[in-house]
Amino acid sequence: MYINFWYPVCAVNELSNKPIRITILKHDFVAFRDNKGRPAVLSDTCVHRGGSLAGGKCKEDGTVQCPYHGWRFNAEGECTRIPSLGIKAKIPARARVDSYPVQEKYGVVFAFLGDLPAAERPPIMEIEEDGKPDWRSTVTSFDVNYNYERSIENGLDPAHNEYVHPTHGNQGEKEEEYRMDQLEPHKNNPWGFGFLATFDAPALKNWLFRRFRPEGGKMQAGSGTVGPNHMWTFIHFSETKFMHQYMFEAPIAENKTRVFLVNFRNVGVTKYEFINKFLDKKINERNMWIASQDIVVVTKLKPVMTPPSRTKELLMPHDKVILQYRDMLDSFEHRGWKIDLDTVNVAHAKGDVIHAIPSPARRTDKGWVLDPVPLVPPQKQMAQAAE
């Protein structure tokens, strides 16, 4: 798991002036809208006695109030009131919690969980179709009980379709002709890599989805990444009929991930909204059916985490983008952004220490109550890389 990236928090329509608790990177956050409707994401732990801010309530002044002793924190993480000190009391400078940059895009609320200044932050994955009238989108989310790296690597694997998703490939009917080692690089960027592949696919039998692919034959599909947890998947049924899917993944723990799927399509977009909504529902149901096929397989992968050594897997040419993804993760580790989960887990097991994901304010402000989450030290990174 890595700090200094944008993570999905919730759908835009899920956020209100009622605080909600979100777990990402094995840490808890509180998300809410202030009195002006602006989204806010803070570290969930009150620095007084450890109360969960998400268990409190939003006040008319735009703050969230701790349910334990009534301390109030604004969207910047600053404590604005300590009731026990009286109404005109001076608030101690250390009475603050981490506050994270927030953006609302594509129907999702994102928080930048890290301390980089704005000019140095990796981007939220761009969706070029957003706002174009001939494209329509939906947002769904679901949880899976496996590591997010396993989830991303499954999406980057072009050779599993034939066996996990029978409607995607040739179902082994042309085994003597089947190959999946010719990948075309696509949408490579400073934060990730991608590919497109051409393969045989049967016609879709469902009457509704035949409008996407009424005949069998060649089609093109591929995937790629931006950062550790953003992935795109393009499905080109023909030269003009496309479905572009964008996955924003939030690691909850080592073996649990929340996936936000933003699905764009340029097929079945009409002037009749009731037809559009009907198709939205059916397409989302199909996407979840396809996802369920992956979930059955990936949930049972062993080891549950990506092996630390590539010699412990017999990788093939079609795994190239997976290897590029792992190389990119190594580069994030060398930047000092990888969370030291061993140390975090020891602290959680003891139960007497809680950390915070560092926010940008820690670059300039001193004197925080909670220590920042421990990161893998550079010396250890370099030793592991050399090994």
| Model confidence at 286: pLDDT above 80 | yes
How high is the pLDDT of residue 386? 42
Is 170 inside any structural domain? yes
Q: How far apart are CA 335 and CA 7, in angstroms?
A: 18
Look up the CATH number of the domain holding residue 83. Answer: 2.102.10.10
188 to each of 5, 125, 307, 328, how far by Cα in Å? Answer: 18, 12, 25, 12
Q: Which one-letter amino acid corresponds to residue 161?
A: N
Is 130 inside any structural domain? no
Please write the tens of the pLDDT for every residue from 29-39: 999 999 999 99
Overall average pLDDT of the 194-210 stretch: 77
**Do 183 and 265 sit in the same domain of this protein?**
yes
Boundary residue ending a domain (327, 349, 370): 327
Overall average pLDDT of the 305-311 stretch: 88
Overall average pLDDT of the 108-124 stretch: 98
Look up the CATH number of the domain holding residue 262. Answer: 3.90.380.10
**Do 88 and 147 sit in the same domain of this protein?**
no
Whole-number average pLDDT of the chain: 91
In which domain, by residue range, is 90 found? 1-123+339-387
pTM: 0.93
Q: How far apart are CA 369 and CA 164, in angstroms?
A: 49
- Angle among Cα 368, 372, 375 to the nearest 5 degrees reads 160
Phi and psi at residue 137, to the nearest 5°: -130, 155
**Do 49 and 113 sit in the same domain of this protein?**
yes
**Do 203 and 316 sit in the same domain of this protein?**
yes
Question: Can you read off the two tokens belonging to residue 8?
Answer: 């999905």
Boundary residue ending a domain (327, 362, 377): 327
Task: Indicate the pLDDT class of residue 383, thresholds 50, 70 and 90.
Answer: very low
Question: Can you read off the two tokens belonging to residue 65?
Answer: 């109030």
Is 131 inside any structural domain? no
Q: Is-contact 9 338, C-beta < 8 A?
A: no
Is 358 inside any structural domain? yes
Q: Is-contact 68 51, C-beta < 8 A?
A: yes
**Do 91 and 231 sit in the same domain of this protein?**
no
* Number of domains composing the chain: 2
| Model confidence at 257: pLDDT above 80 | yes
Helical pair 378-386 and 320-334, crossing angle rounded to 10 deg: 150
Overall average pLDDT of the 257-275 stretch: 93
**Do 267 and 356 sit in the same domain of this protein?**
no
Top-confidence residue, 385 or 314:
314
How high is the pLDDT of residue 31? 98
**Do 61 and 92 sit in the same domain of this protein?**
yes
**Do 157 and 286 sit in the same domain of this protein?**
yes
**Do 30 and 56 sit in the same domain of this protein?**
yes
Boundary residue ending a domain (291, 306, 327): 327
Is 333 inside any structural domain? no
Please write the tens of the pLDDT for every residue from 341-353: 999 999 989 999 9
The contacts found for 320-325 with CB under 8 angstroms, 24 or more apart, are 320/183, 320/195, 321/156, 321/183, 321/193, 321/194, 321/195, 321/223, 321/224, 322/153, 322/156, 322/157, 324/192, 324/193, 325/152, 325/153, 325/156, 325/192, 325/193, 325/225
For every residue of 88-100, DSSP letters joined together read TPPPPTT-B--B-
Please write the tens of the pLDDT for every residue from 133-181: 999 999 999 999 999 999 999 999 988 887 888 766 554 556 666 666 6
| Model confidence at 55: pLDDT above 50 | yes
